[in-house]
Amino acid sequence: MNDNLDGSSPARGVSAIAPKEGGGFPNPGLAPHVHRQADSDKRAERRAERVVAGLFLLSVLGTAVFIAAYFLVTPTGTNIFAEEGSTRAVWWSNLITGLGLAIAVFFIGAAAVHWAKTLMPDEEMVEERHALRGTDETRQAAAAIITEGLQESGIGRRPLIVTTMVAALAALPIAVLAPLSTLGPLPGNKLHHTFWKAGMRLARDHDGTPIRAADVAMNSIFHVMPEDLTEETEHFLEERAKAAAVIVRIDPALGKNEESLANGHEGILVFSKICTHVGCPVALYEQQTHHMLCPCHQSTFDVTDGAKVIFGPAHRPLPQLPIEVDAEGYLVATGDFPEPIGPSFWDIHKDK
């Protein structure tokens, strides 16, 4: 076992193989074969045969169940186990169709495997391996063919062709960039701005109704969108993906960040809901600790301190939407977020 198939030693370098002391042990060859019951006992053999046949028949039964389920246990039409069109009907349809198919296929497998294990020969056979490496003649012939082919092509004698060929092959991949560029627009300043503008009311995310400052109780949280952002808006989902924000209200005495408080209204603060790590909505608010937690990777933001990161993988605070109260008492934005929302990117701190 210390040699290659052809008895050679490593072609290159030094091998760390330890020589076998005393030449090692000789391989004793295949152990004597032990016969199975079905090989010697006619009754065991017939029993095995009947089991295999029985398993195949079970599969036929499964196929019948599967086909029958398509007519008798359907999700929206006839269903002998549940009311038509109910969720239970879907459940039953899935179960019976599935069990039928499972039985149909499983028992074909069980029969075939049992057949092989009990009735087909179980005496091991030996097949010789051959070295994958070609014989020396083959290798020489191969090398000669390549040399000859290269000479015929004249690749060594015609540098002009070679150079231009390399140039052509090198230039072609650049062509891929052209169709690639049509896959989407360039970023431009899109990532730097959201739908929010001065004077835009903050509206409840689920029903679009605007929110009065008086509605925001202490320690409550509102998920908000710009009131003007509706399903008719162009790029509705894209705008929602950037504009999503939350309103929280804290006791101003708890506030540790003057600038943050100044951008709010009597402790009502509005932060981007999009995590500054990889962009999940920061949906969990712990009222007791005034922490906002991102459920994706657990970045934790302290809203009493300008949504500064206090735990987890995010680095930048959640951008704060500056607000005021309009004449009718509704919360309105006084402008867009002062910096880009969501995950960081290369030129996030460049003005655009």
Partner 1 sequence: MKLGAVGGDWLDERVGGGGLVKFFARKIFPDHWSFMFGEVALYSFVILLISGTFLTMFFDPSMTEVEYDGPYEALQGMHMSRAYESTLYISFEVKGGLLFRQMHHWAALVFMVAIFVHMFRVFFTGAFRKPRELNWLVGFSLMVLGMVAGFTGYSLPDDVLSGNGLRVVDGLMKAIPIVGTYISMLLFGGEFPGTHIIPRFFTMHILLVPAMILGLIAIHLVMLVAHKHAHYPGPGRTDRNVVGFPLFPVYTAKAGGFFFLVFGIITLVSATTAINAIWVYGPYDPSPVSAGSQPDWYMLWTDGGLRLIPGWEFTIFGYTVSLNILLPMVVYGGLLAFLALYPFIEAWVTGDDREHHVLDLPYNTPVRTGLGVAWISVYLILAMAATNDLIALKMHLSINDLTWLFRISIFVAPVLLFWITKRLCLSIQRQKRNLVLHGEETSRVVRTKTGDMLEIHEPLDEFERWVLVQHDDFRPLKAGNGVSALRAKATSFFFKDRIAPVSPAELREAMEHAHHEKHVIDEVTDGDYRIPAEKAMH
CA dihedral (333, 339, 344, 345) in degrees, to 10, reads 120
| 27 touching partner 1, by CB under 8 A | yes
- Picking from 200, 330, 202, 217, the residue whose alpha carbon sits closest to that of residue 270 is 202
Under rule CB under 8 A, residue 301 binds partner 1: no
Whether 51 contacts 61, CB under 8 Å: no
Phi first, then psi: give them for residue 309, nearest 5 degrees: -75, 125
Q: What is the dihedral of CA 224, 229, 234, 240, to 10 degrees?
A: 0
Q: Any contact of residue 258 with partner 1 (CB under 8 A)?
A: no
Identify the residue among 74, 257, 260, 272 touching partner 1 (CB under 8 A): 74
Token pair 């032990």 in the structure block, residue: 34
Binding mask 205-244 for partner 1 (x = CB under 8 A): x-----------------x-x-----x---x-xx-xxx-x
Per CB under 8 A, 85 contacts partner 1:
yes
278 touches partner 1 by CB under 8 A: yes
Q: Binding of partner 1 at residue 4 (CB under 8 A)?
A: yes
- CA 269 – CA 216 distance, rounded (Å): 10
CB of 51 to partner 1, least distance (A): 14
Among 68, 101, 162, 325, the residue binding partner 1 under the rule CB under 8 A is 101
- Shortest reach from residue 61's CB to partner 1, in Å: 13
Exactly one of 313, 325, 326, 335 binds partner 1 (CB under 8 A); which one? Answer: 313
Q: Is 311 in the site for partner 1 (CB under 8 A)?
A: yes
φ, ψ (nearest 5 deg) of residue 89: -60, -40
Does 134 sit near partner 1 (CB under 8 A)? no
Task: State the minimum distance, in angstroms, from the CB of residue 239 to partner 1.
Answer: 9
For residue 307, the one-letter residue type is A
Q: Is 286 in the site for partner 1 (CB under 8 A)?
A: no
Q: Is residue 5 within the footprint of partner 1 (CB under 8 A)?
A: yes
d(CA 79, CA 83): 7
Q: Is 229 left (phi over 0), alpha (psi -120 to 50) or beta?
A: beta
Q: How many residues does the chain have?
A: 352
CB closer to partner 1 out of 223 and 252: 223
Among 80, 113, 143, 218, binds partner 1 (CB under 8 A): 113
Q: Is the dihedral of CA 237, 241, 242, 247 positive or negative?
A: positive
Minimum distance, C-beta of residue 296 to partner 1, in the bound complex (Å) = 6
| Contact string (CB under 8 A) for partner 1, positions 31-70, x = contact | x--------------------------------------x
Distance CA(341)–CA(282), nearest Å, equals 12
Q: Nearest approach, Cβ of 227 to partner 1 (angstroms)?
A: 15
Give dist(CA 210, CA 193) in Å, integer.
22
Binding mask 173-192 for partner 1 (x = CB under 8 A): -------xx-xxxxx--xx-
| Closer residue to partner 1 in complex, CB, 162/348 | 348
Choose the stretch contacting partner 1; rule: CB under 8 A; options: 35-43, 143-151, 212-220, 308-316: 308-316
Distance CA 273, CA 302 (A): 13
Among 299, 303, 307, 333, binds partner 1 (CB under 8 A): 299
Q: Number of residues in contact with partner 1, rule: CB under 8 A?
A: 114
Using rule CB under 8 A, residue 139 touches partner 1: no
Site for partner 1 (CB under 8 A): which residue of 110, 208, 228, 326? Answer: 110
Contact criterion met (CB below 8 Å) for 256 and 279: no
CA distance 185 to 233: 19
The torsion angles phi and psi of 163, rounded to 5 degrees, stand at -60, -45
Q: Which amino acid is at 222?
A: F
